[in-house]
Structure 1
Amino acid sequence: MTSPRLPKVRASELVGRGWLNTGGKDLALADLRGKIVLLDFWTFCCINCLHVLDELREVEEQHRDVLVVVGVHSPKFVHEADPVALAAAVDRYEVHHPVLDDPELVTWSAYSARAWPTLVVVDPEGYIVAHMAGEGHKNNVAVLVRELVAEHEAKGTLHRGDGPYVPPPVTSSTLRFPAKVIRLPDGNLLVADAGHHALTELAPDGETFVRRIGAGERGLVDGAPDVARFSEPNGLCLVPEAQRDLVGGDVLVADTVNHVIRAVRLADGHVRTVAGTGEQYMVGGNDNVTDTGAGDRTGARYDGDPTGVRLSSPWDVVWSQDLGVFVVAMAGNHTLWALDLVAGRARRLAGTMNEGLVDGPGAGAWFAQTSGLAVGGDGRVWLADSEVSALRWVQAGDGDVTVGTAVGAGLFDFGHRDGPADQALLQHPLGVAVLPDGSVAVADTYNGAVRRWAPAPDGPGEVTTLARDLAEPSGLLVDVREDGGIDLLVVESAAHRLTRVQLPARLAGQILDAGAHRTQRPVTDVGAGGVRLDVVFTPAVGQKYDDRFGPSTRLQVSSTPPELLLAGAGDDVPLVRDLVLNPEVTEGVLHVTAQAASCDADPSIEFPACHLNQQDWGVPVRVVDGGPDVLTLPLHG
């Protein structure tokens, strides 16, 4: 079966501020004629975009003589529009193809991208042949590339040979894009050295190298420290002493890109995998999921053997005494998971796998790229919820946990603003730490700052700034000095170092207001009154709609502000919805989540593989008289 093709449309020129990974040369589409071109519209904050980078590595390497991947970096956050930050991200994530810097979203708009990530395939003659939103398209891309190679080799329009990629100079340092740090029982420091795909142990001074655990090459291998392999490890957690023999290790590691949790024995540096299979948990995957229609295929009720469950980009892990489990920030599907290695049980703790900011009982809460974790003296688990630029908390309750927000407004609002916590703004924080007085320090990553939330007897509390001008701080460690003062050890990820910030015993901070921001993307004009929302689902190659166990689709719609929608909000089965927009609300954002279940189409397959395809959109809209009355969004299998 051949892959679905779009009608032939000429690809638009690639326009932006500049290029990376080309040796200083600007590229044009004419330079790529004769090659299959895969445009990857991404932004480096987005975990789904990082998943796509990893999905494409094998396809890219296998077809390097005929396929040119071009990353089109279209930023969400202000920090991501900084060319220095982009260059660091391209280095950090080992992007081995040309990258177009598109800060004004010129090329994004030309190709009608609406979501991160989006993939567009251009054939060797310069025509667009596929347009795919979201992740999980590795198989589709591989099939399409093979078809295009055969077609254009036969026509004589395929040119084999080297592409335009020029690798940047290699630099070396003790640490490379470190993520988190913990203090070991002997006083040394252990760093999740993400860029080295290893753990690096340092002396108490934070500079003197002691040893490396991990071979330093990307991979998933257990064993001795010079054999074991990690892939961009991020989170670290000391195992409670009473559990170390049972767990078989002293430290747990959130091995993010491998989608596993590892245990490390400090005595000899031995590494073993204790949770995860090494395969990414895709929403709707067929591992231990009750198959009763699209609305019930999220895997939210998963509960079982930790080594049999697929995880999705675990970013951090902490021990919660109150809950009696390790809490895992599962960034890849916007959830928190509970991991009990003594009982041999992994389960979803909170989050629906929908992306957003919704508080309340854990089973119905929404998160957005759950990242750094810390536990307070009262048992509350604090969370840096990065994509909603929020500081949030989770606390044990009666039969369920409760989720709340201390700082944060939503997916598209961010900035650097101190003051009352309900008005304060962060920008993509990745780390948290609880200070001795019960306040919370936040590694406010994209603001290059350390912020502090302090509770108040009445009201939302206050946010201040403790330190500025840091290079993407991503982790924090609190040390209390003998004089009562506090040393805050900050992981400056983009500077490849640990930095010590001294705080006084009586904590205070500077009140700053560097402004508020909203994600700037091209606005879609829609007509006042009735607008038909049409989500067009295209099953993957060899797949068909799966309605054997109930409805195969689901559509959720909401808006910011809520007053934008007079009718059409809510959750229903069809992928078509008639919306009524408020003519008195001239601008806003439509939040759309679509799901469609599909399975193998071949009737000869006795046990067909089933998949749930999901995509989230935040579509900025402007309500205008006479505007379009149809909004079409593509959902591909």
Structure 2
Amino acid sequence: MTSTNFRVRAPELQGRGWLNTGGQSLSLHDLKGRIVLLDFWTFCCINCLHVIDELRPVEEEFGDALVVVGVHSPKFEHERDPEALKAAVERYDVPHAVLDDPELLTWQQYAARAWPTLAVVDPEGYLVASMSGEGHSEGLRRIVRELIEKHTAKGTLNTSGTLPEKEAREDTELRFPGKIALLPNDNFLVSDSAHHSLVELDQDGETVLRRIGDGTRGARDGENPQFSEPQGVCVLPSEVATTVGYDVLVADTVNHKLRALNLETGRTTTVAGTGEVWRGAPGDPVDIPEDPREARLSSPWDLAWYDGRVIVAMAGTHQLWSYDPVANHLEVYAGTTVESLRDGPKAQAWFAQPSGLAADGSKLWIADSESSALRWIENGEVHTAVGKGLFDFGAMDGKADEALFQHPLGVAVLPNGSIAVCDTYNNAIRRYDPVTDEVSTLAMNVAEPSGAVVADGTLVVVESAAHRVTRPVPPGESQQITGTRHRTKRPPVELSPGPVQVTIVFEAPAGQKLDDRYGPSTRLEISANPSNVLRGGEGVTTDLERRIVLAKESDEEEPSEEGDGVLQVSAHAASCDVEGPNPACHLSRQDWGIPIRIVPGAPSELVLMLRGESL
């Protein structure tokens, strides 16, 4: 981001209300004298969840000098529900104040175009930095230190006055449980995500028999382990368990690890993951070391035994990985790291935050949450049963090509071969029948179902927002939803038909330079949905500038309220430290999905900021 010769006053914070402030409202005027970091996020977004965890140590380091405010800017309709947002703030243990901005008022004032976006406001109320994506913690530390030094000298840093405290949370036996598995003794193993532990439940699904994990966030192995928001649990086939000496594999999501659990001793060991998150540009190959414990994972969300190995829904890289417990081998199974919906050979397919897995022998079923899709793999090919793409969602039954889900997180194979879908943001259990290619609804008013398993012919569901395990589907019953379609509610960017110049602005931060030691330091990929709005300029180049050509079906069409399509832009830039014997490398990356409206006379230039440390 380039520097300017004038200062920009930060717009005031607007929204429906505040959370995590003890009932108080905040304004930039209230926070004058402190450094304010605005985090524009939405609770479905895995990158946004990464940023919340990145910011925890930054908030602790700078104390009262830095105030972080999460500006919740929803993508899905469910995320506009204030109760759902309140639950998400607790679920993800958000440690700072959150502004509820369902109409994207503050989002628009700060010209945000991607989740997540960060903006820094200095103690005098001026906007001094803006950056998109994750991985900015070190850059933020540098900015904050410089601002503290500058405004201490000026006498404008003022940390007097009491800030609102984080709100007290209710507690229950289970707290935002995530996934469930059936154990060999017919009990259930549930990931009690907000309690950072695993729980064995009796066959009634209610009685707690034992808890594995001490209930605090951590990554300790052994007989008194710690987890960090664990999700998927996969029971290994008995012959495999005997060979490897453990029975269950656990997706330790926020630790970015796979953990092995011996059910008899309760002892855990880490089998994959360093604890650091993988970051790269969309389409970049993932280099996995020979020792899986030296690999960087990214939010493993669910696990399933399929094709003679454990398949991992690697939500953070928009891929499926696989782990062979016997060979102790980790590799990419499907997907390219590009976030979108594309079928085909599994090595070339695109996923969007896969979060639920279930196998029925020949097929692996996938809840692809950000594309609101149900997909499957068979014979090395990826197929989509239900789903339109990143920005189309809803609640509609009927033929699969017209049916809609809203951010599903779980799947299970029913005894008759049909597929139960935890349609999480519709608070429903839906069913897809592969024989008739139709979708129906099995149960409604299920509070954010996130995982399911079949036990004794009955569907057992993790009702995450109700903090319980239930059996919500009466045998033989179903309903029919004739609901509405939705698209992500962001104001479209108006662009002119014909040639449009796309420019990605990137400046290496102070003390760094572009790094081309291992190939081109920059990469830009552009596509569109639907593809026919982009008549030229699609594809991948190493330049951060590109001329594209936009068009719509008919020049006589009236501009639509929601826009004519979505321009999908992915960019990255590699930089390294200028000084030092072993200069550190840094990768800045961002994916934008920008709704566009093609209007004669509109601007013919689109400028996007990849990363900036000063305005």
TM tier, smaller: over 0.9
Go from structure 1 to structure 2 and tell me whether the alpha carbon gap of 1:610 and 1:19 turns closer, same or farther (over 3 Å shift).
Answer: same
The answer to whether the aligner puts 1:253 opposite 2:250 as a matched pair is: yes
CA distance in 1, matches of 2:162, 2:540: 46
Give the letter for the 1:433 counterpart: A
Give the letter for the 1:312 counterpart: S
The answer to whether the aligner puts 1:475 opposite 2:451 as a matched pair is: yes
TM-fit CA distance, 1:573: 1.8
The answer to whether the aligner puts 1:520 opposite 2:510 as a matched pair is: no
Partner of 2:328: 344
Residue aligned with 1:594, SS: strand
Q: 2:228 aligns with which of 228, 231, 246?
A: 231
Give the letter for the 2:565 counterpart: G
Partner of 1:488: 459
Go from structure 1 to structure 2 and tell me whether the alpha carbon gap of 1:87 and 1:274 turns closer, same or farther (over 3 Å shift).
Answer: same
Tell whether the 8 Å contact from 1:98 to 1:164 is kept in structure 2 after alignment: no
Tell whether the 8 Å contact from 1:66 to 1:160 is kept in structure 2 after alignment: yes
Q: 1:550 aligns with which of 514, 519, 522?
A: 519
In the TM superposition, 1:366-405 aligns within 5 A as: 366-377=350-361, 379-395=362-378, 397=379, 401-405=380-384
CA distance in 1, matches of 2:50, 2:39: 12
CA distance in 2, matches of 1:613, 1:162: 36
Go from structure 1 to structure 2 and tell me whether the alpha carbon gap of 1:540 and 1:334 turns closer, same or farther (over 3 Å shift).
Answer: farther
The answer to whether the aligner puts 1:633 opposite 2:603 as a matched pair is: no
Partner of 1:289: none
Partner of 1:566: 535
In the TM superposition, 1:137-536 aligns within 5 A as: 137-161=136-160, 164-224=163-223, 227-283=224-280, 298-302=284-288, 304-320=290-306, 323-377=307-361, 379-395=362-378, 397=379, 401-456=380-435, 461-480=437-456, 486-504=457-475, 509-536=478-505
Residue aligned with 2:51, SS: helix
Give the letter for the 1:349 counterpart: Y
Give the letter for the 1:84 counterpart: E
Tell whether the 8 Å contact from 1:304 to 1:344 is kept in structure 2 after alignment: no
Residue aligned with 1:29, SS: coil
CA distance in 2, matches of 1:303, 1:449: 41
CA distance in 1, matches of 2:122, 2:410: 43
Partner of 2:595: 620
Q: CA RMSD in A?
A: 1.7
CA distance in 2, matches of 1:184, 1:365: 33
Structure 1 spans left out of the alignment, 5+ residues: 285-294, 481-485
In the TM superposition, 1:80-159 aligns within 5 A as: 80-159=79-158
CA distance in 2, matches of 1:183, 1:540: 50
TM-fit CA distance, 1:612: 3.4
Q: 1:601 aligns with which of 568, 578, 588?
A: 578
Tell whether the 8 Å contact from 2:446 to 2:472 is kept in structure 1 after alignment: no
TM-fit CA distance, 1:553: 1.6
Superimposed CA distance per residue, residues 387-424 of structure 1 (whole angstroms, 9 cap, x where no aligned partner): 000001122x3xxx211111100000000000000111
Instruction: Give me the identity figure in percent.
Output: 56
Superimposed CA distance per residue, residues 265-311 of structure 1 (whole angstroms, 9 cap, x where no aligned partner): 11121111111111111116xxxxxxxxxx98x23353622111110
Superimposed CA distance per residue, residues 309-343 of structure 1 (whole angstroms, 9 cap, x where no aligned partner): 110000011111xx221100000110000111211
TM-fit CA distance, 1:106: 0.3
Residue aligned with 2:178, SS: strand
Tell whether the 8 Å contact from 1:390 to 1:426 is kept in structure 2 after alignment: yes
Give the letter for the 2:347 counterpart: A
Tell whether the 8 Å contact from 1:35 to 1:123 is kept in structure 2 after alignment: yes
Partner of 1:287: none
Tell whether the 8 Å contact from 1:18 to 1:26 is kept in structure 2 after alignment: yes
Question: Which deviates more from structure 2 when the two are superposed, residues 23-32 or residues 161-170?
Answer: 161-170
CA distance in 2, matches of 1:456, 1:202: 34
Superimposed CA distance per residue, residues 190-218 of structure 1 (whole angstroms, 9 cap, x where no aligned partner): 11000100011111111112111001000
Give the letter for the 2:471 counterpart: R
Give the letter for the 2:440 counterpart: T
Question: Which deviates more from structure 2 when the two are superposed, residues 154-163 or residues 326-335?
Answer: 154-163
Go from structure 1 to structure 2 and tell me whether the alpha carbon gap of 1:438 and 1:139 turns closer, same or farther (over 3 Å shift).
Answer: same
Go from structure 1 to structure 2 and tell me whether the alpha carbon gap of 1:232 and 1:92 turns closer, same or farther (over 3 Å shift).
Answer: same
CA distance in 1, matches of 2:474, 2:601: 58
Partner of 2:23: 24
How many matched pairs? 603
Question: Which deviates more from structure 2 when the two are superposed, residues 471-480 or residues 545-554?
Answer: 545-554
TM-fit CA distance, 1:508: 6.0
TM-fit CA distance, 1:161: 4.5
Partner of 2:13: 14
Go from structure 1 to structure 2 and tell me whether the alpha carbon gap of 1:202 and 1:13 turns closer, same or farther (over 3 Å shift).
Answer: same
CA distance in 2, matches of 1:248, 1:54: 33
Give the letter for the 1:387 counterpart: E
Superimposed CA distance per residue, residues 64-117 of structure 1 (whole angstroms, 9 cap, x where no aligned partner): 211000000000000000000000000111111110000000000000000000
In the TM superposition, 1:31-46 aligns within 5 A as: 31-46=30-45
TM-fit CA distance, 1:247: 2.8
Q: Of the two structures, which has the highest relative contact order with CA contacts closer than 8 Å and spacing of 6 or more?
A: 2
CA distance in 2, matches of 1:52, 1:619: 21
Residue aligned with 2:606, SS: strand
Structure 2 spans left out of the alignment, 5+ residues: none
TM-fit CA distance, 1:615: 1.0
Residue aligned with 2:251, SS: strand
Residue aligned with 1:548, SS: coil
Residue aligned with 2:30, SS: helix
CA distance in 2, matches of 1:282, 1:161: 38
CA distance in 2, matches of 1:125, 1:465: 54
Question: Which deviates more from structure 2 when the two are superposed, residues 9-18 or residues 163-172?
Answer: 163-172
CA distance in 1, matches of 2:448, 2:546: 41
Give the letter for the 2:415 counterpart: P
Tell whether the 8 Å contact from 1:334 to 1:354 is kept in structure 2 after alignment: yes
Give the letter for the 2:490 counterpart: R
Q: TM-score, normalised by structure 2?
A: 0.95
CA distance in 1, matches of 2:316, 2:190: 22
Residue aligned with 1:65, SS: helix
Go from structure 1 to structure 2 and tell me whether the alpha carbon gap of 1:314 and 1:541 turns closer, same or farther (over 3 Å shift).
Answer: farther
CA distance in 2, matches of 1:154, 1:68: 20
Give the letter for the 2:180 counterpart: V
CA distance in 2, matches of 1:96, 1:203: 34
TM-fit CA distance, 1:5: 5.8
Give the letter for the 1:363 counterpart: A
TM-fit CA distance, 1:241: 1.1
